[in-house]
Amino acid sequence: MSDLLERLRARGWRMTSQRRVVAQVLDGDHTHLTADEVHARSARLLPEISRATVYNTLGELVSLGEVIEVSTDGRAKRYDPNAHHPHQHLVCASCGMIRDVHPTGDPLADLPAQERFGFTVSEAEVTYRGLCPACA
């Protein structure tokens, strides 16, 4: 993640203080922040940063593949900086907490051709739901 700024620069993107701050916030915390939380934390470092800029930057990071967008509950999307290690998510149905998990097996292999209906299937996302120790 620390060389993210280099990768952005290599793509011809301008290196602004706002982008640096957003990258720093994501880099320092792996708790799947919402866009609004990213904005709040960024604003501590750079008070005048705007919501639009945070949304733009997050969108850029997602399309660059540096960050994964997770929407587990139909509410706010969350941003997962752990994009370089494939993993799935375990979500607490009560408090919404998310943990990264690494199941065995490949769900893509479980979808036979006749169940693909002509789709070009590229990805399988597994969300485990349950209660975390604190909520159980």
Token pair, residue 80, equals: 């997962």
Distances from the Cα of 17 to the Cα of 23, 39, 73, 101, angstroms: 10, 14, 32, 33
30 lies in the binding site for its own copies (CB under 8 A): no
Q: Which range binds its own copies by CB under 8 A, 10-18, 24-32, 53-61, 101-109? A: 101-109
Token pair, residue 81, equals: 């900086």
Q: Which residues bind DNA (CB under 7 A)?
A: 9, 13-19, 34-36, 46, 48-53, 55-57, 59, 71, 74-77
Token pair, residue 48, equals: 């005048």
Report, in Å, the least distance between residue 93 CB and DNA. 14
Positions in the binding site for its own copies (CB under 8 A):
69, 71-74, 76-77, 90, 92-93, 99, 101-105, 107-112, 115-133, 136
Binding residues: 92, 95, 132, 135
